Amino acid sequence: MPTREELEEEERRVRQLRIAVNLALSVIGQTEMSLAQAQEMVAATRSMALRLFPGKEMTFDLIYLPRFRRLLAERFGYYRPILSG
């Protein structure tokens, strides 16, 4: 069973990731940038997530990637896959 400190640390990392994802979504949605720049921001956010939660690529791809894809489709007018693996 995890200790209280371990649980608090994980909660801190989850909060940090949530803030980073929301910030990236806001910046992409509200700033003039190219599709390539937006994709770089998504990739940087994913890299941060994997530093916080090593080995959880699939979790990020299932939870957060669809939100980024929807925003990019809305913002840039078409769907283009991002982050191949």
* Confidence (pTM): 0.86
Measure the CA angle with vertex 9, ends 5 and 10; round to 5°. Answer: 120
Measure the CA angle with vertex 34, ends 29 and 40; round to 5°. Answer: 85
DSSP secondary structure letter of residue 78: S
Structure tokens of 15? 């909060």
| pLDDT one-digit tens code per residue, 7-58 | 999 999 999 999 999 999 999 999 999 999 999 999 999 999 999 999 999 9
**Domain ranges in the chain?**
4-74
